[in-house]
């Protein structure tokens, strides 16, 4: 079956703008924004939105689809409405860009849903990477995750399922501010839920183990939030929607002597 004119022309590109205003976007992603027929956006603040509007005359924020005021709204409904708004313009034959702060595919399900839906209808759709909060975290904390490895989980998923962290590696828990929240209607947790998380983590980490609350800066004049505290202090800490919890290793790496023997490697060979 031949595709109609609009079907052939409509396209979607999801791009990431990075975390720090105008400074972390790739040349290619900026070019997509500048040459798009229209740009849908979810930015971290009004400054970022204003900068985006300086690149393209038709920028439409997706923020109003979230619950407003005292409204209680499931985020699944919000995301579906966002996707349909994006697809409606693609179906009109337009070159559509969806610009999301950070990386467009990391903790950003709208981009994945929209790309899948566009492809299913025969449109060109793809994603361009962006600098994520994780990339900023390693830089701001001066940590090379390759030295001991790292594990990464969404905080609520870590609580709801049987995950087993390796205390010899770095552990990242994302969206810590909504840890234990399952209704998809709230954007905050409570000390009771965080206490349950602490009790869960106590299986692998001492209560006095130092953890780090991290928040990447979004403006050039800002600095990263790096707050160090004991694990048992977490339920009483100040958390925001962009807080990430880093739990450094609590144990040293252990040599696998059986594998080393097969490889003909001695402990002294490793330095």
DSSP class per residue in 15-29: EE-BSSTTTS--HHH
pLDDT at 267 over 50: yes
- Which one, of 178, 179, 252, 239, lies nearest residue 212 by Cα? 239
Tell me the whole-structure pTM to 2 decimals: 0.89
| Type and span of the H or E element at 87 | helix 75-91
Q: Is 161 helix (H, G, I), strand (E, B) or coil?
A: coil
> Is the separation of the CB atoms in 39 and 147 below 8 Å?
no
pLDDT at 1 over 60: no
Mean pLDDT, residues 244-264? 95
> Is the separation of the CB atoms in 210 and 229 below 8 Å?
yes
The Cα–Cα gap between 71 and 140 comes to 37
Backbone φ and ψ of 94, nearest 5°: -95, 155
Within 10 Å of residue 214's Cβ, how many Cβ atoms? 22
The Cα–Cα gap between 179 and 72 comes to 19
The Cα–Cα gap between 86 and 12 comes to 8
pLDDT tens column, 85-98: 999 999 999 999 99
Mean pLDDT, residues 151-179? 96
pLDDT of amino acid 271: 73
Beta-bridge partner residues of 138: none
> Residue 8 — very low, low, confident or very high, per pLDDT cuts 50/70/90?
low
Which structural domains are found in the chain, ordered by start?
Answer: 5-131 (3.40.1010.10), 134-247 (3.30.950.10)
Q: What is the largest CA-CA distance in the chain?
A: 68
Beta-bridge partner residues of 102: 18
Q: What is the DSSP letter of 268?
A: G
Mean pLDDT, residues 203-218? 97
pLDDT at 188 over 70: no
> Residue 228 — very low, low, confident or very high, per pLDDT cuts 50/70/90?
very high
pLDDT at 5 over 70: no
69: left (phi over 0), alpha (psi -120 to 50) or beta: left
Q: Which residues are catalytic?
A: 75, 79, 101
For the record, the structure tokens of 91 come out as: 């179906």
pLDDT of amino acid 2: 42
């Amino acid at each position: 079956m031949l595709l109609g004119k609009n079907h052939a022309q409509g396209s979607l590109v999801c791009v990431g703008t990075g975390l720090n205003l105008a400074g972390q976007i790739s040349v290619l992603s900026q070019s997509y924004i500048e040459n798009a027929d229209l740009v849908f956006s979810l930015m971290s603040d009004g400054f970022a939105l204003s900068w985006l509007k300086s690149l393209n005359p038709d920028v439409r924020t997706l923020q109003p689809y979230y619950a407003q005021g005292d409204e209680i709204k499931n985020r699944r409904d919000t995301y579906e409405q966002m996707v349909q708004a994006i697809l409606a313009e693609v179906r009109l034959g337009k070159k559509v860009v969806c610009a999301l702060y950070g990386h467009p595919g990391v903790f950003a399900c709208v981009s994945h849903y929209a790309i899948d839906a566009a492809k299913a209808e025969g449109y060109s759709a793809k994603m361009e990477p962006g600098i994520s909060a994780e990339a900023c975290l390693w830089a701001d904390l001066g940590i090379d995750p390759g030295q001991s490895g790292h594990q990464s989980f969404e905080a609520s998923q870590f609580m709801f399922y049987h995950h087993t962290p390796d205390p010899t590696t770095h552990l990242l828990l994302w969206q810590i501010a909504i840890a234990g929240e399952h209704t998809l209607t709230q954007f905050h947790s409570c000390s009771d839920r965080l206490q349950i998380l602490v009790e869960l983590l106590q299986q692998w980490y001492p209560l006095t183990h130092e953890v780090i609350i991290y928040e990447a800066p979004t403006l050039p004049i800002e600095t990263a939030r790096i707050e160090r505290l004991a694990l048992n202090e977490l339920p009483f800490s100040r958390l925001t929607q962009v807080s990430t919890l880093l739990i450094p290793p609590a144990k040293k790496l252990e040599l696998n002597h059986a594998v080393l023997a097969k490889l003909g490697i001695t402990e002294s060979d490793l330095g």
